[in-house]
A and B are shown apart, each in its own frame.
Chain A
């Protein structure tokens, strides 16, 4: 199976899709030089409500439903032997959050992981994927949101500091369905996530939210792609990032494509970055490609700035110390998105992690 890797054009770093990524730090996920082991880390812990199933199925039974130009996703499609399949039956309201976690037992080494999350028509659920530990992991998560269904998909990248994670989180959203994702990236050496959306039928909607906090030496990259190929779909993107420390690098790409058939499209994307120290770099590239003028709205905004001195002055003028004022402002900056995670324990854990990162960075 290793032969397959020769079919791919190994990125050189000059390609648009790879120009920000430090390829040398991908541990060979992109050029096939890494040896893949048969680790199957994604696990369901706890009991699943009726109508929810989690199992592993063989690749022969479940082929990918989407194509990707990403070489790592292609490798995952070609080489992952089985698929972690989470299914939610039709007309099911899943009240408890469905937790998926990494169990890093079994053989050490790099892993290629295929995941399918499928929520059938008129069902509602929230799926939380907690990523932690030390990994070299290439992953493709395909998410199908059936007609009239509502899915919230939360992925927490709290990897150990040496980890490499390159993944696509791809949602296919059917008629009258709505998809919300919250992507949180605060741990890892190199994290490259592609949150992408295809609308399969009209009146569908997607909201992609994210926060990231990179400190010394970390490379966190989020490449959003929203494909409006059907009429009357709505998309919102809002990613907020903070950076502190030497060599902290974040990349946010927001590609939105409105095809000629996509009349009535309503889209807006936003990226805000907070630079907390010198030596950090935030790249932010919104791209809007519009092939029809018959739309409701399309816009984007991107800002990158330092602490707002007026905010710090206001807080300090009430006796709050500089460090505490900064912490309040950073917490407040992220709260808009983190407060949407429907689990207070997780919210608090993330906020505390952000405090720790801030303290560590001495920002």
Chain B
């Protein structure tokens, strides 16, 4: 049982014109097995929250705390956060030229597990994960995210989620750019990871569409860098109907 606790998180981004405050005191608690949807309009700071928790160097934490089972996440390097059990599925996964998917996955698994996975079982593991996400076996010989379609990038992210077995995963707009079939396949992957590892999920999205496949236990409305309303899945239905208008400018 793991808990990610975010308390009063304030984050700025450095620009040419000086620092700009994006997160203005975020409070969230995510426990194993729970699914939290974070919904909000463009520019509300949802992605900043995701990247800050993962430790992206572009963002500066100016206040608040983030702990995972009591350990101070903000003091950890990016790789240490992953080793502690955090995972970020990115909205725009990065191309790494010349590094094959199979090499990348094995290097990551070796780092996270503390030893290289046994080759025979590992090949089977990867094959199974790829099969489950309807990915062609030739995929593993391609370079990481290079020339991937939008859907392939997202499947690749979820494949990592299933293989690397984090405790808490943040999915940053994993639904964007997916057609109906791909959305279903990717959602099934997330649900498998939830069941297999009692994964805690933070699902960042604009739309309620993905919530038909991945049922949230909690819905948080995000606006102007903080959580402005919280509720159960019924809140998503309300947002679907009325939009974000009443939260913007608040």
Contacts from A to B (Cβ < 8 Å)? 308-311, 313-322, 324-325, 328-329, 331-336
Contacts and interface: CB of A to CB of B under 8 A. Distances in A.
B107 A324 contact: yes
B94 A318 contact: no
Contacts, number: 82
A308 B78 CA distance: 15
Contact of B96 (A315, A322, A324): A315
A69 B107 CA distance: 50
Contact of A331 (B83, B95, B99, B144): B99
Contacts of A334: 98
Contacts of A317: 54-55, 78-79, 81-82, 87-88, 90
A6 B174 CA distance: 72
B143 interface: yes
B99 A329 contact: yes
Interface in B9-67: 54-58
Contact of A332 (B55, B57, B96): B96
B25 to A, nearest CB: 25
B112 interface: yes
Interface of B: 54-58, 77-79, 81-83, 87-88, 90, 93-99, 103-104, 107-108, 111-112, 143-144, 160, 164
Contact of A313 (B57, B95, B99): B57
B145 to A, nearest CB: 8
Contacts of B79: 316-317, 319-322, 325
A332 B77 contact: no
Contacts of A309: 57-58
B160 A318 contact: yes
Chain A contact residues, majority secondary structure: helix
Contacts of A322: 77, 79
B164 A315 contact: no
Chain B contact residues, majority secondary structure: mixed
A313 to B, nearest CB: 6
A314 B97 contact: no
A314 B88 CA distance: 9
A305 to B, nearest CB: 13
A318 B99 contact: no
Contacts of B81: 317
Nearest to B95: A311
Contact of B78 (A311, A316, A324, A331): A316
A313 B98 contact: no
B99 A328 contact: yes
A320 B98 contact: no
A142 to B, nearest CB: 33
Contacts of B56: 313
30 contacts: A309-B57, A310-B94, A311-B95, A311-B96, A313-B55, A313-B57, A313-B94, A314-B93, A314-B94, A315-B96, A315-B104, A317-B54, A317-B55, A317-B90, A318-B82, A318-B104, A318-B111, A318-B112, A319-B82, A319-B83, A320-B107, A321-B79, A324-B107, A325-B79, A328-B96, A328-B107, A331-B99, A332-B96, A335-B98, A336-B97
Given A309-B57, A320-B111, A325-B79, 9 more contacts: A314-B94, A315-B107, A317-B54, A318-B164, A319-B79, A328-B99, A331-B99, A333-B98, A336-B98
Contacts of A319: 79, 82-83, 108, 111-112, 164
Nearest to A320: B111
A321 B99 CA distance: 16
B173 to A, nearest CB: 16
A333 B97 contact: yes
Contacts of A325: 79
B154 to A, nearest CB: 14
A313 B78 contact: yes
A336 B82 CA distance: 29
